[in-house]
Structure 1
């Protein structure tokens, strides 16, 4: 079934600093930081949370429908996504703004400093989740990071229409108020955060962990190198370790790939554990690649790597669904 994915669509300018950011920071002078990092590499890649999730779902054979606002400069990017299985018919094209830009520098410890220019993204409020839902026959909407007003608007639309939806505030938690965050997550079938975002969301909303769980069906918390934890009122707590990596190239988009894998695994009917293992494997493949949409999934290789990380039973359960 088609899955609507509303989120940012951007061009990533990714740079590498051959050192450690932490060594350049003086603890008692952080109030007047003024630094410039001489980088040794620049690559320009397609990105944005919504587009990255859609690309991952499509690589696994799903039917992602991308929702978001872009500029006229999106044409070539849109052709790429369409060629790779992403439905871009419901992307709104602004007549005056550029597509968003993400500029990020990564150091040797995989720490990152980034800036995001919204561009056309605030015009996402012009998109109707309802229209896209009925036009595509979708059965799930993912409300990921893009314009905060649009995120709140679209989650409210899902509640009003009775649509199943996923709340994935990620980078926008820092920008959104506690009131906006509560309005976003309330009634969600699934809530994604990492462990820091989990604490920040609770702090900004004034809600306890139990309170948040009372507002959503299932909570998925990524824990970096410690894997992922899944918990819900009707879900026994699940912990899945990260998939084995062969290299570490760039962490940009790792979380987006995990979401794509877990959501697709659940659409296949897999258990929470199996779906999280699929997501973790996809995340590792992105970590091994420079760029968020520069990997491809080969059925046999993906199955083999699942077996390597999670055992033969996992690979056997997932293999029938890989196209």
Structure 2
């Protein structure tokens, strides 16, 4: 069982010609509403791949009985939710330009209750974007923990990041997030890598790098036609974690994460084009050879 902690959200995804400067505007060329939230995206990806997962999240009074609720049930995602009837389910407003760069505005809504909630003690947990203090307490109480700060990295204090790094086994981050962590902690990337058993840093279209056992491994992207980058990192984590609990090597898990992400970026929306394990395996074989057994 993979427990995933963090946001469940409604995504409003817009395409723009360019991201505007401060005090300026831009034209929206397309706008759609999708199911999202970092933790929910990861849980949905795990479930679609056939993994067993429980989502620990916060939702508002608008969630139960909604289309999103029905979608979660269809996927088989177990729900362990803190409900805040008077609040909105968290909502993200994302703007992506023609170069693939993105800007996000996030309404926490019901997720504010994380700060007052009692964290569970879990055998295997991945912590996505959520309240920093809640994630710190989850990491302290869990047997095995992985963590990605996501775009909430800016909310973490030096003390909170230090606490997280002292209690996790795997760190995921993109190039922007790891750079900010280095600035907050006043340290280097190598120093952060040395504090965890395993670190995986993604670099958008430039692939990803795995650090484990004192070695560095580069994983190239799977070339596809990019429609929208939103959710690529979440699907990478879903693929990695699903494979990891099955016993695949860390390098193979990264390749599976890469292949899983390649499906998601082909369509707009974080959960609109999630692959099954069979679909992932077929594309994996085309780019990395036979997957084999763990």
Q: Which residue of 217, 239, 246 corresponds with 1:238?
A: 217
Structure 2, unpaired ranges of 5+: none
- Indicate conservation of the 8 Å contact 1:188/1:215, yes or no: no
Map 1:87-166 onto structure 2 (within 5 A).
87-88=78-79, 90-125=80-115, 126-130=117-121, 133=122, 139-158=123-142, 163-166=143-146
The structure whose residues are more often helix, as a share, is 1
Q: Which residue of 240, 248, 253 corresponds with 1:275?
A: 253
How far 1:167 moved relative to its partner? 1.8
TM-score by length of 2: 0.93
Q: Which residue of 59, 62, 77 corresponds with 1:73?
A: 62
CA distance in 1, matches of 2:170, 2:40: 19
- Indicate conservation of the 8 Å contact 2:50/2:276, yes or no: no
How far 1:229 moved relative to its partner? 0.7
Note closer, same or farther for the CA distance 1:212–1:300 as it changes in structure 2 (3 Å cut).
closer
CA distance in 2, matches of 1:50, 1:272: 21
How far 1:42 moved relative to its partner? 1.2
- Indicate conservation of the 8 Å contact 1:187/1:215, yes or no: no
Quote the residue 1:52 is aligned against. 41
How far 1:304 moved relative to its partner? 2.5
Q: How many residues align?
A: 291
CA distance in 1, matches of 2:24, 2:220: 36
Moved more, 106-115 or 291-300: 291-300
Moved more, 207-216 or 111-120: 207-216
Larger-gyration structure (1/2): 1
TM-score by length of 1: 0.85
CA distance in 2, matches of 1:173, 1:3: 23
Structure 1, unpaired ranges of 5+: 26-32, 134-138
CA distance in 2, matches of 1:296, 1:190: 23
Q: Which residue of 175, 192, 198 corresponds with 2:172?
A: 192
- Indicate conservation of the 8 Å contact 1:187/1:217, yes or no: no
CA distance in 1, matches of 2:277, 2:133: 39
How far 1:300 moved relative to its partner? 4.6
- Indicate conservation of the 8 Å contact 1:92/1:127, yes or no: no
Note closer, same or farther for the CA distance 1:73–1:127 as it changes in structure 2 (3 Å cut).
farther
Quote the residue 1:9 is aligned against. 8
CA distance in 2, matches of 1:304, 1:211: 38
